[in-house]
Every structure is written in C-alpha cells, then in structure tokens.
Chains A and B, each alone.
Chain A
Amino acid sequence: MSRASVVPVSVDFAQTERFRYVLRLADTSLILGQRLSEWVGHAPALEEDLGVANISLDLIGQARMLLSYAGEIEAAGRDEDQLAYLRDQNDFCNLALVEQPNGDFGCTIVRQVLIDVWQLELLSWFDASTDQRLREIAAKAVKETRYHLRYSSGWLVRLGDGTEESHTRVQTSLNDLWKFTTELFTPDEIDRLAENAGVAPNLNVLRGSWLHRIDEILNEATLTRPDDVPYVWFGKRGEHTEYLGHLLSDMQYLQRAYPGVTW
C-alpha cells in the first residue's frame, strides 16, 4: 500500500467541509470568550477578574485567527467581523456547552474545565494535522490552553475540595453540564471527513484521553463523574439552546443596528 492511500491528502477534504470544520473551532472559542468576558468587573475577587479576562482574551484571539482562516477557505470575501457579527444563530456552529450561561463562578469553572481539556487534547493532536494552518494556529493556542486548564482545574479542586457549600455547588453544576459533553465526542459527517483527511482526530480516541484527564481532575476535586445521558444538543450543526440567540443579539447589536459602517 502506498503512503498516499494510508494518509489521505488534505485536498480530499472539500472546501465547504473544511470551512465548516474550522468555523466550528472558531465559534467555540468565540462564544466561550464572549461568555467569560461577562465576568470582567464582577468576579469573586480582583485576581479572578484579571484571570478570567486573560482567558477570554486568549479565546477571542484564537477565534480571530480561526475566523480569518475560515474566511480565506470560503473565499467569499467575509472577514473575521463579518463572520462573527453578521451570521444568524443557525449558522453558528459552536459546541452547545460553551453557550450555556455562566451561572455562579463554580458553574463557569466546571464548563471551563470540560472545554479546556477538550481543547488541550484537540490542539495537541493538531500538531499532526495535514492542515498546515491549523497546525500553526494550534501551536500558539496550545500554550495558552495549558494555562487555561491550570487556572480552571486549580479552581475546580479548590471549590470541589473546599467547603461543603462549594462542593455541593460545583457537583450540581457538573451534573447539569455533563450532558453537553456528549456532543464533543459524537462525530457527524464533517467530523468523519475531517478525520479521513487527516485534518482532525478520531473523536472516540480523543474521548479516551479526555475522560482520563477529567477523571484525574474530578478525583482530586473529590467530585463524582455523572452518568452519561442520551439527550444531546448539536450546536456544531447549528442546533442551539435558547441561550445563544440572546448572546448574539447582545454581541451583534451595533453591527446590526448600523450596517455597513466602520468602527
């Protein structure tokens, strides 16, 4: 067997699917960054205002690189802002987990740990992607994400193994958010094509390492991993929870109210 048939060349991964795949990554970072920024000025302590702002900035920075790349793939002249501000809810393809409201600080931390580990596993894998741009973007983002996970898992351990109240609060948030993790590892057509093209990892394999790390963190935080439940939202296919519409109407307000001007 020739090498080419083992590792399919990335050309097989058509433009529309590649656009869609990169957009998923971009939207997930963007919506999470937007959510986190809601904390700035309202966090439990000054250091947390600064910490959360840092993570939010990194994520929006990643989103900008990915959106620009998506725009180039699409080749329809849309830049990062047109993609961020002028798409409707059903064209957004972020994971439903990241559009969930912040809740209390513990809930934000639970959501962050779940997504940080996912991003860390994924970005690390991209080092071997056949997509050169993704490799480059991931090389920068993976360092940031390592820091994000240190921050979020540090807090999850503190809150899980803190007071009785904090333990109960984060366990409840974990129970509530767990169902959204199903989407992370349930491949659809685009995920499969991306995997076949060597652009993205096998999600089942990714789930194994994700779960391993999550279990380690939950263990240290004295938290119990909830059972998997069948219900699932598919944000990545544009099927969103009710929260995303409100987030977008807020985020996109100026661009929508004053079309065609520069800021």
Chain B
Amino acid sequence: MYTQGLDALGDESLHLPEEELAELEAHFQAKIDADEKIEPKDWMPAAYRMTLIRQISQHAHSEIVGMLPEGNWISRAPSLKRKCVIIAKVQDEGGHGAYLYSAAETLGISREQMIEQLLTGQAKYSSIFNYPTPSWADIGAIGWLVDGAAIMNQIPLCRCSYGPYARAMVRICKEESFHQRQGFEIMIRLCEGSTAQKRMAQEALDRWWWPSLMMFGPDDANSKHTGQSMRWKIKRFTNDELRQKFVDVTVPQAEFLGLEVPDDALVWNEETEHYNFGPIDWDEFQRVLAGHGPCNQERIRARIDAHESGAWVREAALANAAKQSKNL
C-alpha cells in the first residue's frame, strides 16, 4: 500500500547510484541536525517518508476512532452546557483527523487509501479507544487523562522535523489542552458531588489509569522505532521519559480530586524527584493491540458501518459534481 503512494510520487531514490544517494542523505540529515524543517517537495529517504506516513495516519485514525467512545455520551450529557462542550470536543477530534489526513497526504498517500487501511485492519489506531465508556465520569476521565497523555506525546511533535506535521500539531495541541481542562472540570464537579458521583469518578479513574500509561507505547527497551525517529527528530523524548512526566504531573491532580490512583506501588521518590510506579501489564497492552480489547470490534464495526452506509451519499455527491462540471 505505502509503496503505491511512493510510486505515484515518482520516488526513484532506490535507483540512484550509491554515492548520489549518500550525498542526498547527508544533506537531508544535515538539515535535520540544523533544526530546519523538511517540506513535502524536499528529498527525503523512503524510510523517513514511510515512518511519517505510518505515524501520521495512525494519529489521524486515532482522532477519528476517538470520536466514538465520547460520542457514546453526547445524547446523554447531563446539562445543555456539557452537551455543547462534548459535541464541540468530538467535533474538534474530527477536525484533528482532517488536518492530519491532509498532512499525511503531502507524503503521497490519499485519504481514501488511509481509510481503507483503517477499515481493513492494516493500519492501527491508539489502543486507548478500545476501552468502554460506561459512565458519564468516563468523559471526564478521558479528557483529563487521555487528552492529558496526548498532550505530553504531542507537544514535542510541534517541533517535529516534518513541516506539515509540526504545523498541524501546533493547532491540535491548543485544542487538546482545552479538552484536558474541560475533562478535569467534569471530574472536579463529580468529586465535589454526591457519593454516587464520587464513586463514578473513582471507577472511571480505575478504568483509565493504566490504559493511559500504555498510551506512551512500549518501554524503551522494547521500542522498535525510537532510535531512528529520534535521529530524524520525529520523536524528541523516549516513551518512558514521557510516561514518567505524565505520572509526575497527574498524581497530584488525582490527589487534588481526592481520588485514589489504582497502583499500590505508587510512591514519591525523594532521590529521583519522580514518582515510582508499579509495573505495566504489557500482556494486556499486546492483547488490545492484537484486536482483543474490550471494544476493538465495536469501534471498527462502527467505522465500517458509517463508511458503508454513507457510500450512496458519497457516490451521489460525485455524480452531481460530474453533472455540474458538464453544465459549465
């Protein structure tokens, strides 16, 4: 699939003489080392292009699939203000998907191809969205923790070496921090509320804490892509560094809410000035990644249903556009 995109772009670097290729690569790396941005028309190694296509499209798919667990509470939002906030949030995520698809398209793949990859399971999306939202508090917890973790991951991407991705991230990060605050506000309201509301909030934290830590990806020892991505300045921090930062920021917030983080091993370490936390269940991570999380089937089914039942609409739009252009 990816190679199709590359062929279409006429990427012929594979056929170049070795010295010429080495020279291009050296020039490319020098640009990155000098913190200059790589733009769509610039020469780039095929592997850099492929890494970015994989990462940006995965990111876009995550935004789109991420609309579903929260969409689950749009119709039941408990006040009109909250309803407006959650609709606007889910809409923002759709907008993020749209910018990111556009950023990926600058690398020579089409949105249709990317969607095809999502629906056929060839492309992944963030596993976090395979967890369910049984209560309203999950909407708070998602904003607080999931958007919070997303911000940690994404702020460094605003300085990513690939120009269109970096620029998309600047815009996205602004909105994500709104989402995080709105989610935290939902949690505050619940934690100040009735016993039932507090219980709802605690249960949501119990559900989302560990999956949120998994959002940063495998630990550094097992992360395939980290080394090369750091050299290319697609990535600026390792998974474990970002995860630690998230824990350090979030634990005091949980304390402020009066909630208990579901980790017996969690303790402040005076020496390192970081929290120590318990081991992550990587089996669960792999299980969800492999398609066996609580909602994997429902999420992808919902995307397929929307795509299939919208097919006649998209066909009609194309047919009408063709008639219009004939009439011109």
Q: A151 interface residue, CB < 8 Å from B?
A: no
- B136 near A254 (CB under 8 angstroms)? yes
- B76 near A253 (CB under 8 angstroms)? yes
Q: A34 interface residue, CB < 8 Å from B?
A: yes
Interface residues of B (CB under 8 A from A): 64, 67-68, 71, 74-84, 87-88, 90-91, 94-95, 97-98, 101, 136, 186, 189-190, 193-194, 196-197, 302, 305-306, 309-317, 319-321, 323
- B316 near A163 (CB under 8 angstroms)? yes
- B196 near A258 (CB under 8 angstroms)? yes
Nearest Cβ on chain B to A34's Cβ, whole angstroms? 7
- B320 near A40 (CB under 8 angstroms)? no
State the main secondary structure of chain A at its contact with B. Answer: helix
- B88 near A57 (CB under 8 angstroms)? yes
Known A-B contacts A41-B68, A42-B302, A46-B64; the reply to A169 vs B312 at CB < 8 A is yes
Between B68, B77, B91, the greatest number of chain A beta carbons within 10 A of the residue's beta carbon is seen for B91
Closest 3 CB pairs of A and B: A44-B310, A162-B316, A166-B316
Known A-B contacts A46-B98, A64-B80; the reply to A40 vs B74 at CB < 8 A is yes
Chain A residues within 8 Å of B82, by CB: 263
Nearest Cβ on chain B to A193's Cβ, whole angstroms? 28
How far is it, in angstroms, between the C-alpha of A203 and the C-alpha of B79 when the chains are bound? 33
- B313 near A105 (CB under 8 angstroms)? yes
How far is it, in angstroms, between the C-alpha of A43 and the C-alpha of B77 when the chains are bound? 20
Pick the contact of B313 from A54, A161, A166, A254 — CB < 8 Å? A166
Q: How large is the interface on A (under 10, 10 to 19, 20 to 34, 35 or more residues)?
A: 35 or more
Chain A residues within 8 Å of B305, by CB: 42
- B310 near A38 (CB under 8 angstroms)? no
Chain A residues within 8 Å of B94, by CB: 40-41, 46, 49-50, 53
Q: A261 interface residue, CB < 8 Å from B?
A: yes
Chain B residues within 8 Å of A48, by CB: 310, 313
Interface residues of A (CB under 8 A from B): 30, 34, 37-38, 40-50, 53-54, 56-57, 60-61, 63-64, 67, 80-81, 84-85, 104-106, 157-159, 161-163, 165-166, 169, 250-251, 253-255, 258, 261-263
- B78 near A161 (CB under 8 angstroms)? no
Sample (24) of A-B pairs whose CB atoms are under 8 Å apart: A37-B87, A38-B74, A40-B71, A41-B68, A41-B71, A44-B314, A45-B310, A45-B314, A46-B98, A50-B91, A53-B91, A57-B88, A80-B80, A104-B309, A105-B313, A162-B317, A162-B319, A162-B320, A166-B312, A251-B75, A253-B76, A258-B194, A261-B193, A261-B196
How far is it, in angstroms, between the C-alpha of A56 and the C-alpha of B85 when the chains are bound? 12
Chain A residues within 8 Å of B316, by CB: 158-159, 162-163, 165-166
Between B71, B196, B309, the greatest number of chain A beta carbons within 10 A of the residue's beta carbon is seen for B71
- B90 near A60 (CB under 8 angstroms)? no
Known A-B contacts A44-B310, A251-B75; the reply to A84 vs B64 at CB < 8 A is no
Chain B residues within 8 Å of A80, by CB: 80
Known A-B contacts A40-B87, A44-B309, A44-B314; the reply to A60 vs B67 at CB < 8 A is no
Pick the contact of B87 from A43, A56, A162, A253 — CB < 8 Å? A56
Chain B residues within 8 Å of A54, by CB: 91
Chain A residues within 8 Å of B320, by CB: 157-159, 161-162
When C-beta atoms are compared, the residue in chain A nearest to B63 turns out to be: A46
Nearest Cβ on chain A to B138's Cβ, whole angstroms? 13
- A84 near B80 (CB under 8 angstroms)? yes
Nearest Cβ on chain B to A250's Cβ, whole angstroms? 5
Between A47, A61, A64, the greatest number of chain B beta carbons within 10 A of the residue's beta carbon is seen for A64
Chain A residues within 8 Å of B312, by CB: 104, 163, 165-166, 169
- A37 near B74 (CB under 8 angstroms)? yes
How far is it, in angstroms, between the C-alpha of A250 and the C-alpha of B68 when the chains are bound? 17
